[in-house]
Structure 1
Amino acid sequence: MAGMDIGIDLGTANVLIVVNDKGIVLNEPSVVAVDNRIDEVIAVGHEAYKMIGKTPKDIEAIRPMMSGVISDYDNAEKMLRGFIEMLGNKKGMGKIVMPRIMVSVPTNINDIEKKAVQDAVKHAGAREVLLIEEPIAAAIGAGIDITVPGGNLVVDIGGGTTDIAVISLGGTVVSKSIKTGGSKFDLDIIRYIKRNYNVIIGERTAERIKIDIGCAYRRREERFIKITGRDLTNGLPKSITVSSLEIMDAMSDSVGQIVNLVIKVLQDTPPELASDIAERGIVLTGGGALLYGMDKKISEMTGLRVRLAEEPINCVALGTGIALGSVDILEIAGTV
């Protein structure tokens, strides 16, 4: 389908794709599986994710994104090409030929990282590549009118990064980014289990723990989960039970880093915009925003009202898709 516009939320954990007015048409893990014997992609997305930690020596399941940017250029390109081909196989889509693609990127990434994204997407089949900062896209996707004069504070907690920005008149006034997000929470859990139980678990198990019992703020009722890992003493499988309080403790430093950065952005915000934010509150987006109690934790530490966006995981992708229809306005504001 020639002339198609595509919006991509190119995340560390997941890739979401929006096509024109169709909404989100693809939501897949940011994973590609490669057969190194023949240098050929054998799976992308969910099918590749199932292979993590379970592949034979000649097949590798790779996450080519790290901390919100491309860490493995060749495999990122292969993954993107696979997703675009996947779109073409969907019913009613037709063959996708040289689309214009807008990609969301973390705020404050450098020119080399930007060029890596642009080149990878271009080589995956785009005729034109536009970039938009994730907090801007997240704000648009959360239903915020970013074109009006007035401060809005958006905290987008993704898989690899947390991007925080004060937005007014279509542009970013103050912004900061930290390489802490959902993947760092998983790593915190893996390290805690290893240190306290002498048991090794994989990232999929850590993610399940985070989703099921993880919290940034103490739960009203403590929760428990039974997991199985490998005992470092004898190498055999071992089952243990961990509590939500333990997992909150495991992630406390990373959660604290995010909260402290929110406070720093507020401290750097001009007084008039700070007044707007005090009235409107803070908007949370991204998959990491779903961590139990994250809104309560930020609210407690800032004294401000914190609102979880209606579709936090989808906000950046939806906003990127909407922004494609307003490129001229955003270019004037210097946003894309």
Structure 2
Amino acid sequence: MATRWGLGADLAIDLGTATTVIYQRGAGVMLDEPSLIATDPRTGALLAVGQDGYEMLGRAPGQVQLVRPLVGGVIRDPVGAERMVRHLVTSLRPSRIVRPRMAVALPGHVSPLERAAVEDAVLRSGARSVFTVDGTLAAAIGAQEQVSGPAACLIADIGAGKTDLALISLGGTVVARTLPIGGDTLDRAIVDWMTQEHRLLLGIRTAEDIKVRIGSAGARGPVGPMRVRGRDIDSGLPRTVVVSPDDVRAALAPVVAELRDALAALIGQAPPELAGDLVNGGLTLTGGGALLHGLPEYLSEGLHVPVRVAENPRWSTALGVGRCVEDFRGMRSMLTESVR
């Protein structure tokens, strides 16, 4: 979805486990691609990045290695991350003459080494300077929450590799927690359930498709069954089974219950005045995991607060960082400049 590059335009980057979203100052979201690279393990040559790499997932021959440079929102393959960011940024700008400032979202729990890895990857991709912003705060800004006021807002940013929870007031985080669960966890839960209940092996892309089409957190969700193809564990041959929404709901139940319980515990840690704000303000869901059918209703029933999904949950963090690059001076308190 890349469009024409404007010289000198600053960039905002949401560097996620599953997806990288890039926002250009003055133009909005310019790129939304899987955080994935394909390389030749024999030579190290870069074969594909983003969507082109994703199309190879589960289908690549032995001479193609597929790598997600980020795990749980932090860089685990610095070289791969640099190559991925450089390729995606270069796909937006044909010239290296003008190097933009770049702002990137980071999880609040990152270590100094993890922060440095992100800053280095972005600098080496062609940035003139790098700024970082707390990812959950950015998600709240992108979801149109009034983060600078005294009234509390509660955010659950459900990514692929992790979920960040934060209670925000007066422009800062009051209490926060990161869960090692996300959209990938839901996919693996479906794979495990199909293995146990049907002795059928599924690819992760098939599990994701099941989640999107008939997965739900509660009774309010899709009603029709789905035919699923995989490999029979015993015979090794292809087999098709029919899976109902109730089946998938059962597979996902432990994961969504863990999210609900963690949110309840977080609310319990909040000062009484801020917890009281949630009776009206409620919880806002961001991230791709927020799109699971029935999740707002499920959480609202369990937490006794209203729950809403951001208008564009997959882009909330990028839009929030984008707000910062649109107004560097006015949002300066939200940004930390790299001194590298």
Bin the TM-score by the shorter chain. Answer: over 0.9
Output the CA distance in 2 between the equivalents of 1:196 and 1:107: 38
Residue 148 of structure 1 pairs with residue 153 of structure 2: no
Partner SS state of residue 219, structure 2: coil
- The two structures have a TM-score, normalised by structure 1, of 0.93
Q: Could you tell which deviates more after superposition, 34-43 or 185-194?
A: 34-43
TM-superposed CA distance for 1:111, in Å, is 2.0
Output the CA distance in 2 between the equivalents of 1:240 and 1:281: 40
Partner SS state of residue 314, structure 2: coil
TM-superposed CA distance for 1:331, in Å, is 4.6
Match of 1:199 in 2: 200
TM-superposed CA distance for 1:335, in Å, is 7.2
CA contact (8 A) 2:131 2:336 kept: no
Q: Could you tell which deviates more after superposition, 72-81 or 321-330?
A: 321-330
Cα deviation code 1:25-72 (max 9, x no counterpart): 000011111122321111111111000111121111221121111122
Q: 1:55 aligns with which of 54, 57, 60?
A: 60
Residue 12 of structure 1 pairs with residue 17 of structure 2: yes
Partner AA of 2:256 in structure 1: V
Output the CA distance in 2 between the equivalents of 1:275 and 1:324: 33
Partner SS state of residue 236, structure 2: coil
Match of 2:325 in 1: 324
Residue 308 of structure 1 pairs with residue 309 of structure 2: yes
Unaligned runs of 5+ in 2: 1-5
CA contact (8 A) 2:215 2:221 kept: no
Output the CA distance in 2 between the equivalents of 1:177 and 1:260: 13
Question: Are residues 327 and 202 of structure 1, via their aligned partners in 2, closer, same or farther at CA, if it must alter by over 3 Å?
Answer: same
Output the CA distance in 2 between the equivalents of 1:246 and 1:220: 12
RMSD: 1.8
Q: List, as ranges, runs of 4+ consecutive aligned residues in structure 1 with deviation greater than 3 Å.
A: 94-97, 219-222, 325-336
Output the CA distance in 2 between the equivalents of 1:318 and 1:252: 31
Match of 1:213 in 2: 214
- The two structures have a TM-score, normalised by structure 2, of 0.92
Output the CA distance in 2 between the equivalents of 1:5 and 1:164: 28
Output the CA distance in 2 between the equivalents of 1:220 and 1:236: 32
Partner AA of 2:138 in structure 1: A
Match of 2:87 in 1: 82
CA contact (8 A) 1:4 1:96 kept: no
Partner AA of 1:217 in structure 2: G
Match of 2:36 in 1: 31
Partner AA of 1:304 in structure 2: V
Unaligned runs of 5+ in 1: none
Cα deviation code 1:191-226 (max 9, x no counterpart): 111111111111110110000000011236633111
Question: Are residues 326 and 169 of structure 1, via their aligned partners in 2, closer, same or farther at CA, if it must alter by over 3 Å?
Answer: farther
Question: Are residues 274 and 328 of structure 1, via their aligned partners in 2, closer, same or farther at CA, if it must alter by over 3 Å?
Answer: farther
